[in-house]
């Protein structure tokens, strides 16, 4: 498995975001998927012991969006235009969950992607489909100063 890079400030993957989840993902080319692990802290609950739906949505959005990076071309970042989520089961806090993402269709300017957030027994807690698009150049130009910080970190944190 090949680890994907993380940013500094992203809420879901940012290494330096004190309020974020600090998730990492790994490419699994033989399955045409990416996979990450996350334990949602209790301070992100909606009800005691249950993750807030917005946190679940953020994890699914990031996982689905990162699935286009499976080929290792990290310059191909797209942004979410449409996100549809189905909550299947309650998502607990304080338990290690698995996020899995994959591409269903990809072209130069857009992609259809999907993701699932799975409970420890493999049951799907929530799933999504998303439509991603290439952002305009004025947007990607604003990302350029962060390029040097978009990197793969060690698993020791």
* Residue 155 lies inside a defined structural domain of this protein: no
* Residue 135 lies inside a defined structural domain of this protein: yes
Which tens digits make up the pLDDT trace of 92-135? 999 999 999 999 999 989 999 999 999 999 999 999 999 999 99
Which 3 state secondary structure label does DSSP give 89? Answer: coil
Nearest to 157 by CA among 66, 24, 39: 24
104-127 burial, b at 16+ Cβ within 10 Å, e below that, comes to: eebeeeebebbbbbbbeeeeebbb
- Would you state the pLDDT for residue 157? 43
Domain enclosing residue 52, as ranges: 2-144
Quick check: 100 and 82 in contact, CB under 8 A?
no
- Overall domain count for the chain: 1
Which 3 state secondary structure label does DSSP give 96? Answer: strand
Phi and psi torsions of 57, nearest 5° = -60, -40
147 has a pLDDT exceeding 90: no
* Residue 150 lies inside a defined structural domain of this protein: no
* Residue 122 lies inside a defined structural domain of this protein: yes
Residue 107's alpha-carbon distances to 29, 68, 135, in angstroms, are 18, 10, 14
- Would you state the pLDDT for residue 42? 97
Q: For position 79, which CATH number holds? A: 3.10.129.10
Which tens digits make up the pLDDT trace of 1-50? 799 999 999 999 999 999 999 999 999 999 999 999 999 999 999 999 99
Q: What is the mean pLDDT of residues 41-70?
A: 97
* Residue 63 lies inside a defined structural domain of this protein: yes
Report residue 155's pLDDT band, with 50, 70 and 90 as the boundaries.
low
* Residue 95 lies inside a defined structural domain of this protein: yes
* Residue 45 lies inside a defined structural domain of this protein: yes
């Amino acid at each position: 498995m090949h680890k994907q890079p993380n940013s500094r400030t992203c809420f879901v993957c940012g290494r330096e975001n004190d309020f974020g989840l600090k998730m990492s993902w790994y490419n699994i080319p033989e399955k045409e998927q990416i996979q990450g692990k996350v334990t949602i802290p209790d301070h992100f609950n909606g009800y005691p012991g249950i993750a807030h739906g917005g946190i679940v949505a953020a994890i699914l959005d990031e996982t689905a969006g990162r699935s286009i990076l499976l080929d290792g071309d990290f310059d191909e970042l797209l942004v979410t235009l449409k996100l549809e989520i189905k909550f299947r089961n309650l998502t607990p806090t304080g338990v290690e969950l698995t996020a899995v993402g994959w591409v269903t269709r990809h072209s130069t300017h857009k992609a259809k992607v999907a993701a699932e957030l799975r409970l420890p027994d493999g049951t799907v807690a929530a799933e999504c489909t998303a439509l991603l698009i290439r952002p305009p150049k004025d947007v990607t130009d604003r990302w350029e100063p962060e390029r040097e910080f978009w990197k793969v970190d060690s698993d020791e944190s």
